[in-house]
Amino acid sequence: MIMAEKKYKIGYTTGVYDMFHIGHLNIIKRAKEQCEYLIVGVTTDELCIKRKNKKPIICEEERVEIVDSIKYVDKVVLQNDMDKLSAVKKYNVDAVFVGSDWQGTPAWDNYEKEFATEGCTVVYLSHTDGISSTILRERLNKE
């Protein structure tokens, strides 16, 4: 069977991946469909607390192990900060994959411009409606 050539060589996506769910898997799978090598950044507990003011339910070591076991993931790295441009440069990334819910936001409009200077494209992947770690937390709190 002849495999179609992928559009991008090295892809990168990040997330907390707390309470891993189908939305997380969909983003990772769709990203891998478009790149030869996929690097996934898992947000550290410390950065999550700093940015979202909440500690993940699943510790970073276990979240890394979960993401690393997914067949679509070629490499897992820890995301210690929000300097995505540094990661693009460090890993020689030519595509950053992110959920479509971020498209058009000031932060991601800025990332698009920054990444373009490095020959990197932002690819927005459709968000899986009806599921998120926040929704799962709310369900747990009600029960």
Say yes or no to pLDDT of 78 above 70. Answer: yes
Would you state the pLDDT for residue 23?
87
**CA gap 36, 46 in Å, rounded:** 31
> Residues 16-70: pLDDT tens digits?
999 888 889 999 999 999 999 999 999 999 999 998 898 999 999 999 999 999 9
DSSP string, 83-109: -HHHHHHHHT-SEEEEEGGGTT-HHHH
Set out the domains of the chain in order of their start, with CATH numbers: 11-94+124-142 (3.40.50.620)
**CA gap 67, 40 in Å, rounded:** 8
**CA gap 20, 25 in Å, rounded:** 8
**CA gap 17, 133 in Å, rounded:** 8
> Residues 86-118: pLDDT tens digits?
999 999 999 999 988 899 999 999 999 999 999
pTM over 0.85? The answer is yes
